[in-house]
Structure 1
Amino acid sequence: MPDTREPWYDVALSFAGEDRDYVQVVAQTLRDSGLRVFYDDYEQVALWGKDLYSHLDRVYREQSKYCVLFISQHYAKKVWTSHERRSAQARAIEERKEYVLPARFDDTPIDGLPSTIGYLDISDTAPGELARMIMDKVGPRYSKPGFPKVVDRLWEELGVEESDAKEKDRVRRVAYGFYDALRHMTIDERKAVVGVLAFGCPAELPEGVHISLDLLSRMIGQETTEVLQNLAAVRSLNVKVKARKGQFHADDDELVVDDKDLLLHFWCPVPDSQDCTAIAYGAVACAADHFCVDHGIEVVAKLDFSRLDARVVGLAARAED
């Protein structure tokens, strides 16, 4: 029986040494994008001293979500690639679903690999493009939840001078304080807070960000009573919300909802920080700006602030080229 636990690797790469230059670029692009990749160069210490025959059988049979076979005239002649392929095919037969993903440099026949299995012709495909297709196959994957050490995109968003180390540290500490507050909220509470910052009006910053209760309810898919309950529940986490009379004027006899205007304020016990709400507003904007509106909210609600680091954004863009 196959291992029913979550696979350790998103994808395992099986290839001949003669094709390493191409595969190495694919592996690096996948790894930089956040996927967990089994590629032998990344596993040298882990493989040291192990019984490779049984260990590789587990990797290709049990521990990966997909296995890409880089088929070529060299691949067909190797003993270890045959072992890897047989383990991968055993998994595919046991589960009766797609697992083996052949990528062909040429049309060399491979013993035991059915001709009916769909494959990609990569003879004229750049490794970065193949990596993008593998990422599409693995499926949507957000970066690992967490907060980066470098938040240079946030510093730029807020106009912090590159040479001002003290201010950069202060901004990061406040932004991390906001992230830490979100960590202690329920997912629905996070969506309510992040929704205010993502869809609200920043005109009253640094005091706060305001938004129509009715608009927020529609944008995040929560009933107005639920929104109010979620925002009231996070007061102990340094997020305070005031409900004010609606700011919208209605014509005589115009049918309107009984709306409220919500003003959200975040504070953090970092010295000389009266702009905490503005920093939180900027952090949400930077973390979510490479996604559509709905996915942006999901990304921040899942505590993925990785895109505050310009390097992460650059690696993702490079993978799409």
Structure 2
Amino acid sequence: MTVTKKYHVGVSYANEDQDIVKSVVKALESVGLTVFFDQKEATRLVGKNLTYTLPEIYRNCCEYCLMFVSNSYVSKKWTTYERDWLLDKRIELQRDDIFTDCIIPVFIDRMDMPGLNPGIVGFDIRKQSADDIARIMYEKIAGSESHMTAEPLSLETVFNKVLAAVEDLLTKQSTCPYQTDRLSEYDVVVHLSAEDNDYFLRLVLEEPLHGLLKIAQGEVFMPQQEWIWDAEAYLEDGQLQFINYNLTPEFPGLPHPYTVEKLCKAVMQKVSDFVKEYPHV
């Protein structure tokens, strides 16, 4: 993809609509798009004056912005500010003869908004699913549907795909109690409990350059700070390289070309094995 800004997509919304927004954000991330979602940027935004910070992010850091249009979005004072910032950005780009489809409405319970040209094509959440929106946005950004199977270009994408796959598995196929602890944006621990046994899976991108994705898994028997990494992955010339220590039985200890899909399956297999061990839970 030719996008050069930090985020492929930003989202502007009213808090009343956050459940819909979260489902769309999750779908966007599952196809490999980076998303600015304020609820995932709490650390970065603490102490900032949002009156200045958010316009800068929307204008300079996001290639596209999905504006979730609803009665709540139109009526609230703060989202009116956000709407004005975004529409001003569109006017500036149009004045400079740059593409003007950077603001894309997602209509929730109304199909119009003050200041938004009624001819602009957007999404209708009543007719299109979160997955539909994600697929179309990916095709728009990537340039063609054929890129959907291409290797993601960042470890952030790999991280989000693996985490989304695990959460989907636990949500749809498991009755085993679990809890997700997000230590930071790219440091997540999934805890699973069954009787007297506690199982964990940890995914973390190494700071500060996110040059390495680390994976730890197993039963809890040590202090949390004494993590033993079972696998590591990194990108080299656009190819995901996988180093296995104790996650799978194949080629231990040596870097090996891998696909994101195969990595997801390997991690999900470990989670699935634990869930199957306690089918009565």
> Which TM class, normalised by the smaller chain length?
0.5 to 0.7
Match of 1:107 in 2: 110
Match of 2:90 in 1: 92
Residue in structure 1 matching 2:30, options 5, 29, 32: 32
Q: CA deviation at 1:144?
A: 3.2
Measured against aligned partners, the alpha-carbon deviations of 1:22-67 in whole angstroms (never above 9, x if no partner) come to 1111112222333211112101111111000100111112210000
Amino acid across the alignment from 1:309? L
Match of 1:23 in 2: 21
| Identical columns (%) | 27
Amino acid across the alignment from 1:137? K
Distance 1:47 1:167, change over 3 A: closer
Distance 1:167 1:37, change over 3 A: closer
Partner SS for 2:114: coil
Match of 1:310 in 2: 264
CA distance in 2, matches of 1:94, 1:114: 15
Q: CA deviation at 1:131?
A: 2.2
CA distance in 2, matches of 1:109, 1:19: 16
CA distance in 2, matches of 1:31, 1:50: 25
Match of 1:173 in 2: 253
Which ranges of structure 2 fall in alignment gaps of 5 or more residues? 156-211, 216-229, 232-244, 269-281
Which ranges of structure 1 fall in alignment gaps of 5 or more residues? 153-164, 180-282, 288-305, 315-321
Relative to the length of structure 1, the TM-score reads 0.47
CA distance in 2, matches of 1:167, 1:40: 33
Distance 1:47 1:149, change over 3 A: closer
Q: CA deviation at 1:313?
A: 10
Residue in structure 2 matching 1:143, options 152, 156, 178: 152
Q: CA deviation at 1:172?
A: 4.1
Distance 1:41 1:144, change over 3 A: same
Contact persistence 1:66–1:101 (CA under 8 A): yes
* Rg comparison, structure with higher value: 1
Structure number with the higher helix fraction is: 1
Amino acid across the alignment from 2:82? E
Q: Which has the higher contact order (CA 8 A, sep 6+)?
A: 1
Q: CA deviation at 1:94?
A: 2.2
Amino acid across the alignment from 2:68? F
In the TM superposition, structure 1's runs of 4+ consecutive aligned residues that sit over 6 Å from their partners are: none
CA RMSD of aligned residues (A): 3.2
Contact persistence 1:60–1:84 (CA under 8 A): no
Match of 1:127 in 2: 130
CA distance in 2, matches of 1:20, 1:80: 15
Q: CA deviation at 1:116?
A: 2.0
Q: CA deviation at 1:6?
A: 2.9
Measured against aligned partners, the alpha-carbon deviations of 1:228-274 in whole angstroms (never above 9, x if no partner) come to xxxxxxxxxxxxxxxxxxxxxxxxxxxxxxxxxxxxxxxxxxxxxxx
Distance 1:55 1:166, change over 3 A: closer
Contact persistence 1:148–1:309 (CA under 8 A): no
Contact persistence 1:72–1:105 (CA under 8 A): yes
Q: CA deviation at 1:82?
A: 1.8
Structure number with the higher strand fraction is: 2
Q: CA deviation at 1:137?
A: 2.3
Deviates more, 1:66-75 or 1:94-103: 94-103
Residue in structure 2 matching 1:75, options 73, 76, 86: 73
Q: CA deviation at 1:18?
A: 1.2
Distance 1:95 1:172, change over 3 A: farther
CA distance in 2, matches of 1:51, 1:26: 27
CA distance in 2, matches of 1:312, 1:117: 43
Partner SS for 2:117: coil
Relative to the length of structure 2, the TM-score reads 0.53
Match of 1:52 in 2: 50
Contact persistence 1:9–1:36 (CA under 8 A): yes
Amino acid across the alignment from 2:75? K
Q: CA deviation at 1:169?
A: 6.5
CA distance in 1, matches of 2:25, 2:266: 16
Count of aligned pairs between the two proteins: 173
Partner SS for 1:111: coil
